[in-house]
Amino acid sequence: MSGVDGGVLLRLDGLTAGYRQPVVGPLSLALRRGERLGVWGPNGTGKSTLLKAIGHAAQVFAGRVERAPGLRVAYLDQQPVRLPAMPITGRELLRAAGATTRGAPEALEAILRRRIDRLSGGQYQLLWIWSALATDADLVLLDEPTNNLDPGRRDRLIEILTTRHSDQALILVSHDRDFLQRTCSHLLDLENGEVKHA
């Protein structure tokens, strides 16, 4: 694909995206294997819209989203679907998502045999995050991954993201700038459209 080479998985070239009208952009950036990009900005600046544009769920008004050939993407929405009755275990959910339990943190190992409709909100959130990270995806998009996490589970998530050795590229959207600075190699501030080293 034109413009995507040298280990670049994703390139945004003057991207402006939204729904009925533009919400975010124009943005230009490149993301390589192993890089973790944090996307920060006040409500309404288009953080989630940016992820949706990358994942083909928002309209591109101008510019381009260029992906490496065969790019595999895993996406975790801001509020993962949770039905009142989900009679499958955490292990079965991971299997259905094509995720491995190898390398799973202790906090997850303890809940893999439990039904997912009996997990707390924080346990469920960590399980869903792992179901995206522990796949063969090249690029993982996480929208507000700290939702439903108490301070202890937030710290566990930071540990997972900073100690897990993977050549996956990650894009994390969050209103929590401290979380992004602790977990990401680069920060995109949507207020001014600048990408900086974290």
Compute φ and ψ for 47, nearest 5 degrees.
Answer: -60, -55
Residue 194: pLDDT band by 50, 70, 90 thresholds? low
Residue 3: pLDDT band by 50, 70, 90 thresholds? very low
Q: pTM here?
A: 0.86
**Is 131 a member of any domain?**
yes
**Is 169 a member of any domain?**
yes
Number of domains into which the chain is organized: 1
Residue 78: pLDDT band by 50, 70, 90 thresholds? confident
Domain range for residue 21?
Answer: 8-197
**Is 3 a member of any domain?**
no
**Is 108 a member of any domain?**
yes
Give 1 or 13, the one with higher predicted confidence: 13
Tell me if 8 sits within 8 A of 67, measured CB to CB: no
Burial status of residue 162 (CB atoms within 10 A of its CB: 0-12, 13-18, 19 or more): exposed
Task: Decide if pLDDT at 184 tops 90.
Answer: yes
Measured N-to-C along each axis, helices 151-163 and 121-133 cross at an angle, to the nearest 10 degrees, of: 10
Tell me if 131 sits within 8 A of 97, measured CB to CB: yes
Nearest residue to 25 (alpha-carbon basis) of 35, 12, 36: 12
**Is 22 a member of any domain?**
yes
**pLDDT tens-digit profile of 42-68?**
888 889 999 999 988 898 999 999 999
b/e sequence 5-25, b meaning 16+ C-beta within 10 Å: eeebbbbbbebbbbeeebbbb
Q: How many angstroms separate the Cα of 126 from the Cα of each of 27, 50, 104, 119, 131? A: 30, 23, 11, 10, 9
CA atoms within 13 A of residue 6's CA, in its CB half-sphere: 4
In sequence order, what DSSP letters do the residues of 142-159 get, joined into one string? EESTTTT--HHHHHHHHH
**Is 2 a member of any domain?**
no
Q: Percentage of the chain surpassing pLDDT 90?
A: 48
pLDDT for res 10: 95
Q: Round to whole Å and give the CA distance between 105 and 108.
A: 6
State the CATH number of the domain containing residue 172: 3.40.50.300
